[in-house]
Amino acid sequence: MKKEPIISTRGLVAKYGDATILKNIDIDIFPGEITVILGGSGCGKTTLIKNILRLFQPFSGEVKIFGQEVTQLDEPEFDRILSKIGMLFQNGALLNSMSIFDNIAIPLEQHTKLSPEIIKKIIRVKLNLVNLAKAEKLMPSELSGGMKKRAALARAIALDPEILVCDEPSAGLDPLTSASLDELILNLKKLLKMTIVIVTHELASIHRIADKIIFLDAGKVLFSGTLTAAKKSEIPEIKSFFEIGSF
């Protein structure tokens, strides 16, 4: 039986003013896999994520999430879909004026009617999952870069999302911390049965975590397929990336 994509786009066009950033993007992201979106600076990787999640409204084309076309949904309907998607931002996006506990509580308080006692239990479970059991009373400023990313990850999975989207999760981390974050992402995928979409440049991370690769170049999809196929590709830009780790 053919597996249906959990996210798909057809003919997706994105513009900033008169500039066309994405040109007729067709992609399929399948459940239970880690899909890595690659490409040089300015190729449209983050724009693609923002258009899928409607942080920017697509200029034209179709976006389906969980089989539902979402570009024309009203806000309450789309919010229901968004509640099943966790987002790990590049800088973590923790609120510096709030403790780690209160940061993780935000999605639970906004999207559920759970009691404070249940919310407290969920937060402690999530902090345990990211190996930050003793950090709930700390402020973001008291955490290292790697710990901030893990705290932000705990918040991203607070609602047990079916999809986790990570924008440059290893940015600014040393290789050892980056490797441990990758290991954590792999464990969460297995434990929580999540579909994970990651934007990253980190070659070592890609080798550790990617099931599928989507390679963008100048606003178009240059390649879409398995990591194994990407590493064997004769497309010059992709070959160059996997041989020397740069664009």
| pLDDT of 44 | 82
pLDDT value of residue 242: 84
Overall pTM > 0.85:
yes
Q: What does the alpha-carbon distance between residue 138 and residue 127 come to, in Å, rounded to a whole number? A: 12
Give pLDDT, residue 32.
94
The residues spanned by each domain of the chain are 1-84+162-247, 92-160
**Region 1-84+162-247: CATH code:** 3.40.50.300
Whether residue 95 contacts residue 157, with contact meaning beta carbons closer than 8 Å, is answered with no
Distances in whole angstroms, Cα of residue 214 to Cα of each of 70, 218, 220? 21, 13, 10
Average pLDDT of each block of 10 consecutive residues along the chain (247 residues)? 89 92 94 92 85 91 94 89 88 83 91 90 92 89 89 92 91 86 91 92 90 93 93 89 68
pLDDT score, position 245: 57
Nearest to 90 by CA among 148, 176, 5: 148
Signed CA dihedral, 179, 33, 43, 225: sign only: positive
What Cα–Cα distance (Å) separates residue 48 from each residue in 39, 53, 83, 103, 194?
12, 9, 19, 27, 20
Can you say how many angstroms the Cα of residue 226 is from the centroid of all Cα atoms in its chain? 18
What whole-number distance in Å separates Cα of residue 241 and Cα of residue 237? 6
Specify the pLDDT at position 22. 92
